[in-house]
């Protein structure tokens, strides 16, 4: 199977590529011109690398058409950190670039287009998220993800492509973005410092990154799967409990600064999804427990790995 993966140097992309290579798939990775390939160090020799920004795909359009990928996995997105959630680039780069990517997939003869959306499309709900809940996003990021998912389904339908849109809640694991809460807390605790935190009452549904990559492969490999699906572990726990498990793994005597930071104005307090639709469609289910995933993540950071 020939495939193209955008966002290949990101956290999830760097796990998806090995998952595809293990199945003998031919993988082309689309990365930004300035992207560091450190996350792909173990797989870069087996992957064809194309460099272009999502805002301008013209430098690689001819190469993609020549490659004729059968499946396109779209993981690239500009401005995923909390401080960029309302930037204009959410629309000017991400929405327009994603639509251009769908058009390129059609021109290259792709049979399937698989994109990664977000729980931010739903907005605040106090119940487990189901795919048929009305979308009411609070941020430009959430609105833009929702728009891309809707455009993708319509454009793929009219052009004869199978479309899958996976609304991802949260992933964690080795090689994560250092700005995210789990690696930030691990790093602070390793330094014997108390990390400042919100009260930590929010319910979080974290999925180990390897399991997320396996879900993407599952929907790619199953030609009958299409539509919108939630992607998470399907189990919510208070963030303070998750961070407590991390602290206990490093040193139970260390302090956690719960309540030292306020919640963001757009903080979602209940983030948990019903994943039964995806399980029924693909047979996929998470394999790595939260306890084991945290152990593996802490062990990786204790190896003094970094994005350099």
State both tokens at 159.
């052009």
Residue among 222, 209, 216 at smallest CA distance from 20: 216
Residue-wise pLDDT tens digits, 266-305 = 888 999 999 999 999 999 999 999 999 999 999 999 986 6
Same topology, domains 2-170+207-231 and 174-205+235-302? Answer is no
Spans of all domains in the chain:
2-170+207-231, 174-205+235-302
* Residues shown for the chain: 308
In angstroms, rounded to a whole number, what is the distance separating the alpha carbons of residues 120 and 137?
6
Question: The whole model's pTM is what?
Answer: 0.95
Angle between helices 58-67 and 96-107 (to 10 degrees): 30
In angstroms, rounded to a whole number, what is the distance separating the alpha carbons of residues 200 and 258?
6
DSSP assignment of 187-235: HHHHTT-PPB-----SEE-EEEHHHHHHHHHHHHH-TT--EEEEES-S-
**Can you give the pLDDT at residue 25?**
97
In angstroms, rounded to a whole number, what is the distance separating the alpha carbons of residues 85 and 145?
11
**Can you give the pLDDT at residue 304?**
61
pLDDT by residue for the chain (308 residues), tens digit each? 999 999 999 999 999 999 999 999 999 999 999 999 999 998 868 999 999 999 999 999 999 999 999 999 999 998 777 777 778 878 888 999 999 999 999 999 999 999 999 999 999 999 999 999 999 999 999 999 999 999 999 999 999 999 999 999 999 999 999 999 999 999 999 999 999 999 999 999 999 999 999 999 999 999 999 999 999 999 999 999 999 999 999 999 999 999 999 998 888 899 999 999 999 999 999 999 999 999 999 999 998 665 54
Strands (E) located in the chain:
2-6, 26-31, 48-51, 71-74, 112-118, 162-168, 170-172, 203-204, 206-208, 227-231, 237-238
In angstroms, rounded to a whole number, what is the distance separating the alpha carbons of residues 112 and 64?
15
Q: Where does 174-205+235-302 sit in CATH, by number? A: 3.90.25.10
Tell how strand 26-31 and strand 48-51 pair up.
parallel
State both tokens at 214.
């396996």
Superfamily of domain 2-170+207-231: NAD(P)-binding Rossmann-like Domain (3.40.50.720)
Question: HSE-up of 213 (CA within 13 Å, CB side)?
Answer: 23
């Amino acid at each position: 199977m020939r495939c193209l993966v955008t966002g290949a140097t990101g956290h999830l992309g760097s796990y998806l590529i090995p998952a595809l290579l293990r199945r003998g798939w031919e993988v082309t990775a689309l990365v930004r011109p300035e992207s560091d390939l450190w996350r792909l160090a173990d797989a870069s020799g087996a992957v064809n690398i194309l460099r272009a920004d999502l805002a301008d795909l013209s430098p690689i359009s001819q190469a993609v058409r020549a490659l004729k990928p059968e499946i396109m996995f779209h993981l690239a997105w500009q401005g995923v950190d909390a401080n960029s959630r309302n930037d204009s680039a959410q629309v000017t780069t991400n929405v327009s670039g994603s639509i251009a990517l769908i058009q390129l997939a059609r021109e290259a003869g792709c049979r399937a287009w698989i994109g990664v959306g977000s729980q931010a499309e739903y907005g605040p709900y106090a119940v487990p998220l189901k795919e048929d809940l009305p979308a009411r996003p609070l941020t430009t990021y959430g609105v833009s993800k929702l728009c891309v998912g809707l455009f993708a389904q319509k454009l793929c339908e009219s052009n004869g492509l199978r479309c899958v849109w996976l609304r991802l809640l949260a992933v964690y694991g080795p090689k994560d973005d250092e700005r995210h809460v789990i690696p930030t807390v691990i790093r602070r605790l390793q330094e014997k410092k108390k990390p400042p935190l919100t009260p930590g009452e929010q319910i979080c549904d974290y999925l180990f990154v390897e399991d997320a990559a396996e879900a993407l492969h599952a929907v790619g490999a199953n030609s009958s799967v299409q539509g919108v699906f939630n992607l998470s572990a399907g189990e919510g726990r208070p963030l303070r409990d998750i961070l407590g498990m991390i602290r206990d793994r490093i040193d139970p005597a260390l302090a956690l600064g719960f309540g030292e930071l306020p919640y963001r104005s757009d903080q979602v307090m209940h983030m948990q999804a019903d994943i039964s639709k995806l399980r029924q469609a693909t047979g996929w289910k998470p394999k790595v427990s939260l306890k084991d995933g945290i152990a593996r993540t802490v062990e990786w950071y204790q190896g003094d790995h970094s994005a350099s």
